[in-house]
Every structure is written in C-alpha cells, then in structure tokens.
C-alpha cells in the first residue's frame, strides 16, 4: 500500500502548479491523504481528481463534514491520523504503531515509545520556525518506508494584462 501524504496547504500560491507537482510526485500511489488545513477548497477538489482522497479535518478551515480522526489498519500497522496532535490525549497516540499528523508545518518522522509519528510538513507555507515546503510518500510493505519530498515554491501568477 502506497500513500501520498500532504498537509497544511495554506497561504497564497498557484494551486494548479502545486497540483501538477503533486500529480507527478504521487504518480502510482494507491491513495492521497491530506492531514488537514487544506486552505482552499480548490486544493481538495484538485486532489480528488488525482485519485482516492482521504482527509481529516483541520482548523484552517474547520469543516465538520470531515472526521477529526481516522483510525484503521494497514497490514500489520495500526494507524491513526489527526490534524492537531496537541488536541488529542497522549494515550490516544500510544495506541497506534503509526500516527500521522500535521499542524506544526514541520516535517517529522520520529519513533516515540512504540509509535512512529509522521508529519509531512507544510506543502506551501513554512511557518513556526520552519523554512521548508515538504510532503511525504509512505510505502507500507515489508517495512514502512517514509520518503520526504521537498516542494518548490509556487508563487501565485500575476494576472496577465
């Protein structure tokens, strides 16, 4: 099972240019997961055109049509996804092999206790001390492989006069 993971697609940027980059980098994945704070509906609409999309709700925007958490199993991995991990009780994360989150705008691939925490970082708006734009490719195979993908800046194009 291969997943293309991104989060925190906020700020001012060229949505179509980002989507073209995502399409290239996530070619061949089984699903695209967005860990919340998609910024504009155009982003989710565009990702949906690329394939099966799984979304957890965020705070920017917050849209209650999307779940706050998603919990499931892939192969031998018990997995949870949430946007803002700080809003969950510590024990929630401890119940999973893999926890995917966003909100910090910082890439993370870190094992704490028995849980591997993965945050793809922000694909569009470095913040909170971060300087990178990034996403991640996850492969749940013999092992869980996590690949960080740097994302260029896609400035909003000026209107052509």
Whole-number Å distance between alpha carbons of 7 and 82:
11
Query: Closest separation between CB of residue 39 and Zn ion, Å?
Result: 10
CB of 33 within 8 A of CB of 3?
Answer: yes
Q: Is there binding between residue 137 and Zn ion (CB under 5 A)?
A: no
Closest by Cα among 88, 92, 68 to 79: 92
| CB closer to Zn ion out of 51 and 61 | 61
| CB closer to Zn ion out of 73 and 127 | 127
Among 34, 101, 103, 137, indicate the residue that binds Zn ion (CB under 5 A). Answer: 103
| CB closer to Zn ion out of 5 and 37 | 37
Whole-number Å distance between alpha carbons of 50 and 23:
7
Interface positions with Zn ion (CB under 5 A)? 37, 58-59, 103
């Amino acid at each position: 099972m291969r997943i293309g993971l991104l989060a925190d697609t906020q700020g001012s940027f060229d949505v179509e240019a980002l989507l073209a980059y995502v399409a290239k980098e996530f070619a061949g994945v089984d699903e695209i997961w967005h860990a919340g704070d998609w910024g504009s509906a155009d982003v989710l609409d565009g990702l949906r055109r690329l394939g099966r999309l799984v979304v957890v709700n965020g705070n920017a925007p917050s849209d209650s049509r999307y779940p706050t958490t998603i919990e499931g199993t892939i192969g031998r991995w018990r997995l949870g996804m949430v946007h803002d991990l700080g809003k969950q009780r510590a024990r929630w994360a401890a119940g999973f092999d893999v926890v995917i989150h966003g909100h910090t705008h910082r890439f993370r691939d870190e094992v704490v206790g028995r849980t591997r925490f993965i945050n793809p970082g922000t694909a569009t708006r470095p913040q909170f001390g971060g300087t990178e734009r990034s996403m991640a490719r996850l492969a749940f195979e013999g092992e869980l492989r996590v690949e960080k993908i740097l994302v260029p800046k896609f400035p909003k194009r000026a209107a052509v006069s």
